[in-house]
Structure 1
Amino acid sequence: MTDIPGLDGLLGIEHVETGPDKVVVRFTIDERHLQPFGIPHGGVYCAVHESTASVAGLLWLNGKGVAVGTNNSTDFLRQAKLGDVITTTATPIHRGRTQQLWHLDSVDEDGKLIAQGQVRLANLEQEVPPEALAHFAGIDPA
């Protein structure tokens, strides 16, 4: 586990780069990422994609609300294996007043595309938990 709260912490996600125009995360495939057949579960990529896009959307909103997933479309292109380090990058396709659309690529150490997707986010006018903004943006919540 990492110091990141929620599912990301359980999955061992590490934030490599966080900003309003790009978020990069990394994790290593281990037993907790496998389906019963011993291969990585596709839901891991879906969860990482949605979470990574949501962090990017939150940072782009810059404290003026939260971004929540409304659609997640992830294609699984290549099978990773135990020990593979997966890097996921979120970049914006569209960012507007009420919604955002983010593109996500998950690649292995050799840069081979493992999964690719899009996540649509709704922008909600809701108070941002100060600790969340501080954690992902390095902003002092005080």
Structure 2
Amino acid sequence: MTQIPGLDGVLGVEHVEATADKVVVRLTLGEHHLQPFGIPHGGTYCAVHESTASIAGQIWLGDKGIVVGTNNSTDFLRQAKVGDTITTTATPIHRGRSQQLWHLDSVDQDGRLIAQGQVRLANLDQQLPPEAMARFVGSFPQSSR
């Protein structure tokens, strides 16, 4: 676990880079990421994809509202193993008034594509609570803000 709040912290995600056009996170696969048959659980990738896209979408939307995931489609292309470091990068496909679509690539330490996906976000006309924004901004390296 990391000091990052929420599921990212439970999964051990490290926030590496965050801009309005790209967010990068990484995690090292451990025993707690495995499904019952001893291979990494696909839900780990889905969860990391959705939170990474949500971070990217919220940075882009700023104080104009709050983003929520409405669809998450992840394809699993190659099996990783315990000890592998997975880097996930979110880049925009579409950013509009009411919704956003983000592309995600998860690669291992050798640059091999492990999982790929898309996450659709809805832009809601609601205020992001200041304490949520403070936790969120505080979880990224100073150079990314």
TM-score, scaled relative to structure 1? 0.94
Task: Determine the structure 2 residue equivalent to 1:102.
Answer: 102
Task: Determine the structure 2 residue equivalent to 1:53.
Answer: 53
Task: Determine the structure 1 residue equivalent to 2:121.
Answer: 121
1:66 and 1:72 map into 2 onto residues whose CA distance is 17
Task: Determine the structure 2 residue equivalent to 1:86.
Answer: 86
Deviation at 1:134, TM superposition (A): 2.7
- For residues 1-142 of structure 1, what are the structure 2 equivalents within 5 Å? 1-137=1-137
1:89 and 1:134 map into 2 onto residues whose CA distance is 22
Per-residue CA deviations over 1:95-123 (Å, capped at 9, x if unaligned) read 00000000000000000000000000000
Which runs of 5 or more residues in structure 2 are unaligned? 139-145
Per-residue CA deviations over 1:7-26 (Å, capped at 9, x if unaligned) read 11100000000111110000
Q: Report which stretch shifted further, 61-70 or 127-136.
A: 127-136
Q: Are the counterparts in 2 of residues 63 and 133 from structure 1 also a CA contact under 8 Å?
A: no
Paired letter, 1:76: F
Over the matched positions of the two proteins, sequence identity in percent amounts to: 79
Deviation at 1:133, TM superposition (A): 2.2
2:108 and 2:131 map into 1 onto residues whose CA distance is 31
Q: Are the counterparts in 2 of residues 24 and 87 from structure 1 also a CA contact under 8 Å?
A: yes
Per-residue CA deviations over 1:2-45 (Å, capped at 9, x if unaligned) read 11111111000000001111100000000110001000000100
Q: Are the counterparts in 2 of residues 18 and 136 from structure 1 also a CA contact under 8 Å?
A: no
Q: Are the counterparts in 1 of residues 5 and 135 from structure 2 also a CA contact under 8 Å?
A: no
Paired letter, 2:133: L
Aligned length: 138
1:9 and 1:137 map into 2 onto residues whose CA distance is 14
Question: What's the C-alpha RMSD, in Å, of the aligned pairs?
Answer: 1.0
Which runs of 5 or more residues in structure 1 are unaligned? none
Paired letter, 1:36: P
2:85 and 2:57 map into 1 onto residues whose CA distance is 24
